[in-house]
Amino acid sequence: MCGIVGYLGKREIKSQLIDGLRELEYRGYDSAGIAVMQQGSIQSFKAVGKLTNLDEKTKNFQTKGQGVGIGHTRWATHGKPTELNAHPHMGEYSYVVHNGIIENYREIKEMLENEGVHFLSQTDTEVIVHLFEHEAKRHDDLFEAFKATIDRLDGAYAVLLVSQKAPDTIFFARNGSPMIIGKNAHGEVFFASSDAPLIGEAEEVAYMEDGTIGYATSGKIHVEPEPLQFVPLAGDKMTAQKGGYRFFMEKEIYEQYQVVSDAMIGRVLDDDIVFEELDDAFLEGISRIKICACGTSYHAALTSSYLFERQAKMPVNVEIASEFRYKDPLLTEDTLFIVISQSGETADTLEALKMAKEAGLKTLAICNVDNSSIVRLADATILTRAGIEKGVASTKAFATQVMVLWMLTLFFAKKRGTMSDDAIRNELLYMSYVPKDLKKSLEVHEKCKRLSKRYLHGHGFFFIGRDIFYPLALEGALKLKEISYLHAEGYPAGEMKHGPIALADAELFTIALMPKTMLYDKTKSNVEELSARDSTILSISPEMFDLADDFILTHPHKHPMLEFFEMMVVEQLLAMEIAIRMGNDVDMPRNLAKSVTVE
């Protein structure tokens, strides 16, 4: 996703900006640019591709003395990744960088074009700078013009704007996209999309809330409507990057609402799903899907198999990549071969992808790391935009994988006409609730912390669920075993009676996923069978269940996927709290690696 940096001070501004952008590379980008203002004149540079291309373009440019600058790495949403579409965008005397989506840009653009404004790019962002200059004609005070501009924008944004008419000032605004401001005793001011570029530079930072607007100029930071709460920024990169959380895993669980929303940007519209990554020619002749993945990514794949078949009416076959490789699989050319991988480097998944390519299949990677081996090899890629995931136990990457797969299901359903427009619109409405609901799900953290002390012993855990809650049960069990080293298994709730129930006694812990929107009564019967054999039951459900020894009450929802995402958070928090109580390093569990590049 896009990254933003800004700098006000006396240091060499170009290097300051490009170094900052380098710290944001993990967010993914396809072009980059900077605008630097000194002694009233602005210079801007842009380049498609990696930051080394921008380095090359700016190699003969340097600044000396006080000035301001803004920089941006762009992940294309409106318009292709070209130099014209790269940020900063310019007006007659001002430049802007923006992260997010301006939903009403078309109507603003039309209004400005009617006034004779000429647009250079296909982006939504360019309207901001022209609107600002339009407002500047009506307001003597440039901050008032900036406020009037921001007032007219609908959507998500983090914006930095510089103007030759206010040569030592950076205007800023945030709504829905992250932005941090930092300062130090030398009078320097910094802006960035995450704290990574600020570490070692700023002494104090403030994490802006939605609705924040202001400007920074030499010796002054003006903010409305509330003053900013600056807090010290740890100088140690590791501590600072954890942002106050005990572990990266915890931070990543808390980031899920944001990354899931990032995954949707530019793809989920009010009544449509758009994947610029997939064109019609690519999908022609495809009538079935095969998905290969490992670990958590395999669980995301399995979840999607229910969605694809139910909603897009496409036969889907999901395989663990290491099994697929040696079974002499039958591959037919009407199959879209999808691989899912957080890292993009998992050897088994990569090899499975090579086999599919050799067999002449069309291949699609769903991946979190741009330019990874899997992304480079696949014919098409959908990036999941989870940002860098440091905890070995995957959390936010899984959330974004499932989100992308749900979107992809609806994309296919629409293309194949298996769902009506109304039904798709309805799904999209529920989908739009996910980020907020994920934030609300975190309320259960304290309860998980308290409950965790009761689950440190026993001879094993069974996570059980039905339908999409079966892969979620598998994922809950994997999370727990990875970081707590306790034995845990995921099972379809209806399968317990075919064998595993023999293990039931008070020391067998059943974690029952009991959503109200999907097969509640059926799951309940299965849990009753376990309870009758004295298994200790922890039910996760919006409805109290008499036979449960413990319960975690989830919010009532009207759609299974909303229940799915909330229960996912509960499982993650519970596993983490159990593992922390056991004294384990949840970020680096024993015997595991983040990227499994061996067979």
- Catalytically annotated residues: 2, 594
Footprint on residues 323-352 left by ligand M6R (CB under 6 A): 341-343, 346, 349
Position of minimal CB gap to ligand M6R: 295
Nearer to ligand M6R, 255 or 482 (CB): 482
When binding is defined by CB under 6 A, the residue of 296, 373, 510, 572 that contacts ligand M6R is 296
Contact between 293 and 344 (Cβ < 8 Å): no
Nearer to ligand M6R, 178 or 344 (CB): 344
When binding is defined by CB under 6 A, the residue of 294, 365, 428, 488 that contacts ligand M6R is 294
CB of 575 to ligand M6R, least distance (A): 10
Strands (E), 164-308: 166-175, 180-183, 189-192, 204-207, 212-217, 220-224, 231-232, 288-293
CB of 213 to ligand M6R, least distance (A): 39
When binding is defined by CB under 6 A, the residue of 178, 182, 243, 295 that contacts ligand M6R is 295
- Contact letters for ligand M6R, residues 355-394 (x by CB under 6 A): -------------------------------------xxx
Nearer to ligand M6R, 393 or 464 (CB): 393
CB of 363 to ligand M6R, least distance (A): 15
Task: Look up residue 418 and give its two tokens.
Answer: 């298996």
Nearer to ligand M6R, 99 or 373 (CB): 373
Nearer to ligand M6R, 305 or 341 (CB): 341
CB of 438 to ligand M6R, least distance (A): 18
Report the side by side order of strands in the sheet with 288-293. 316-320, 288-293, 335-341, 362-367, 380-383
Footprint on residues 445-484 left by ligand M6R (CB under 6 A): 478, 482
Site size toward ligand M6R, by CB under 6 A: 16
- In terms of Cα–Cα distance, which of 97, 234, 277, 253 is closest to 177? 97
Footprint on residues 555-594 left by ligand M6R (CB under 6 A): 592
Q: Rounded to an integer, what distance in angstroms lies between the CA atom of residue 570 and that of residue 443?
A: 10
Nearer to ligand M6R, 208 or 340 (CB): 340
Task: Look up residue 513 and give its two tokens.
Answer: 């996923």
Contact between 460 and 488 (Cβ < 8 Å): yes
Sign of the alpha-carbon dihedral angle for 108, 111, 114, 117: negative
Neighbours of 511 (CB within 10 A): 28
Q: Rounded to an integer, what distance in angstroms lies between the CA atom of residue 430 and that of residue 426?
A: 7
H/E run at residue 54: helix 51-57
Q: Residue 86, SS3?
A: coil
When binding is defined by CB under 6 A, the residue of 16, 194, 297, 584 that contacts ligand M6R is 297
The reply to whether 304 sits near ligand M6R by the rule CB under 6 A is no
CB of 183 to ligand M6R, least distance (A): 38
Contact between 483 and 589 (Cβ < 8 Å): yes
CB of 369 to ligand M6R, least distance (A): 8
Contact between 466 and 522 (Cβ < 8 Å): yes
Report the side by side order of strands in the sheet with 67-74. 41-48, 31-38, 67-74, 3-9, 189-192, 180-183, 204-207, 231-232
Footprint on residues 87-126 left by ligand M6R (CB under 6 A): none
Q: Rounded to an integer, what distance in angstroms lies between the CA atom of residue 154 and that of residue 160?
A: 16
Nearer to ligand M6R, 12 or 389 (CB): 389
Q: Which residues of the shown chain bind ligand M6R in the complex (CB under 6 A)?
A: 294-297, 341-343, 346, 349, 392-394, 478, 482, 592, 596
